[in-house]
Amino acid sequence: MPTVKDVAKRAGVSVATVSRVLNNSNKVSEETRQKVLKAIEELGFKPNLLARNFRRDKSNLILVILPTIANAYFARVVKGIEDTARKYGYGILLCTTGNSPEIASDYLKLIERKQVDGAIIASAKISKDALLEIDPKKIVQACEFYPFLDTSCVLIDHKKAFFEIVDYLIKKGKKNILCAIGNEGIPSEEERKEGYRQALEKNGMEFKEENIIRCRYGSTEIYEKLKTLICSKKYDAVACSSDLMAVGAIKAAKAVGLKIPDEFAVTGFDNIMISRLYEPSITTVAQPMYEIGEKATEILISSLENNSFSKERVILPHDIKTRESA
């Protein structure tokens, strides 16, 4: 593999000049530039990014940490991140943790070790002390906000969104609304639960802890629990914290023989493809997934490059998608 030195020799210039041409410095005469380009061409020279990055103390890589990409929600967020990173000349190093904080910690070490310039944490579980030594301006949180992590963040207003969709159910005449929420310890899930509570209270209904169903976000495991509950015919709706939960809920309602949405209404959250394709199609909260990824990346790169850290808390708008299930 030829190096700048070889190119320099061939072009009859110094390595500094070759480097200038490589980096589009304008302090090179057109004539010299051409000579250098010719030598590069002839030798088939390719810059060694390992050397360049080392010298510049910069990897141009962004670490992306999230629980999974099997869920279409995160897949879409990643697309927003990737496109934006590419636009600014960065690549993305992908880490799906399956919610293991240990895996997340291991990857986060890459920041201090300079394998990556910074990280976007999209809703992945992180242990607090994994972050002790990391410069907060090198991290942006997306989708989710862990307050103990003092970084910029980009997400929607989960409480408000859930409030709105429950309020929608109530306006549709539903009187006994269940709430299916992800497992505990995740801030956005607690926010959504609070939105549910506030919607009930605003409409003069009583909030009961027993009406909260806890189940995994990215699965349909709600099915069994719900089927048992709704046999009683006491309930006429469930507001779910994800579209996959909603699918499970619809299956349960069908299994019990309830007509959707009249006898039993179901709402989802996220607006991933399945909510549109499923039958019945699912009324849900559309999150601006791509835009969350995009904005988070822009904030991170700007923070990385300007070296000016202003903690940003960005709330992006959501949107209720009314469909057949409610």
Residue pair 64/94 in contact (Cβ under 8 Å)? The answer is yes
Q: Which helix (H) or strand (E) covers residue 111, if one does?
A: helix 101-112
Residue from 93, 212, 231, 314 in contact with a copy of itself (CB under 8 A): 93
Q: Which does 16 bind (CB under 5 to 8 A by kind): DNA, a copy of itself, none?
A: DNA
First to last CA, the chain: 64
Q: Which residues contact 237 (CB under 8 A, 6 or more apart)?
A: 169, 174, 176, 177, 178, 261, 264, 265, 266, 267, 326
Nearer to a copy of itself, 83 or 194 (CB): 83
Minimum distance from residue 13 beta carbon to a copy of itself (Å): 22
Q: Which two tokens stand for residue 85?
A: 């990173």
d(CA 253, CA 315): 34
User: Is 94 near a copy of itself (CB under 8 A)?
Assistant: yes
Q: Which helix (H) or strand (E) covers residue 179, if one does?
A: strand 177-181
Nearer to a copy of itself, 162 or 278 (CB): 278
Please name the residue that has the structure tokens 């009187």. 175
Q: Which does 321 bind (CB under 5 to 8 A by kind): a copy of itself, DNA, none?
A: none
Minimum distance from residue 201 beta carbon to a copy of itself (Å): 34
Site map for a copy of itself, 277-296, x if CB under 8 A? xxx-----------------
Q: Which does 92 bind (CB under 5 to 8 A by kind): DNA, a copy of itself, none?
A: a copy of itself
d(CA 184, CA 166): 20
Q: Which residues bind DNA (CB under 7 A)?
A: 1, 3-5, 12-20, 22-23, 26-29, 31-33, 45, 47-48, 51-52, 54-57
d(CA 217, CA 185): 12
Query: Roughly what angle, to the nearest 10 degrees, separates helices 15-22 and 30-43?
Result: 90
Distances (CA, A) of 69 to 97, 170, 195: 10, 34, 27
Nearer to DNA, 12 or 257 (CB): 12
d(CA 4, CA 44): 11
Nearer to DNA, 18 or 299 (CB): 18
Looking at the DSSP bridge assignments, the partners of residue 283 are: 267
Q: Which two tokens stand for residue 110?
A: 């890459």
User: Is 47 near a copy of itself (CB under 8 A)?
Assistant: yes
Examine residue 147 and say whether the peptide bond preceding it is cis (omega within 30 degrees of 0).
no
Q: Which two tokens stand for residue 39?
A: 């030598």
Site map for a copy of itself, 244-263, x if CB under 8 A? ---x---x--x---------
Looking at the DSSP bridge assignments, the partners of residue 181 are: 214
Q: Which helix (H) or strand (E) covers residue 11, if one does?
A: helix 4-11
Q: Which does 44 bind (CB under 5 to 8 A by kind): a copy of itself, DNA, none?
A: a copy of itself
Nearer to DNA, 43 or 212 (CB): 43
Residue from 24, 29, 31, 113 in contact with a copy of itself (CB under 8 A): 113
d(CA 220, CA 224): 9
Nearer to DNA, 3 or 198 (CB): 3
Subset of residues 166 to 205 that bind a copy of itself, contact rule: CB under 8 A: none
Site map for a copy of itself, 117-156, x if CB under 8 A? ----------------x-----------------------
Interaction site with a copy of itself (CB under 8 A): 44, 46-51, 53-54, 57-59, 61, 64, 68-70, 72, 75-76, 78-79, 82, 86, 91-96, 103, 107, 109-110, 112-115, 133, 220, 247, 251, 254, 273-274, 277-279
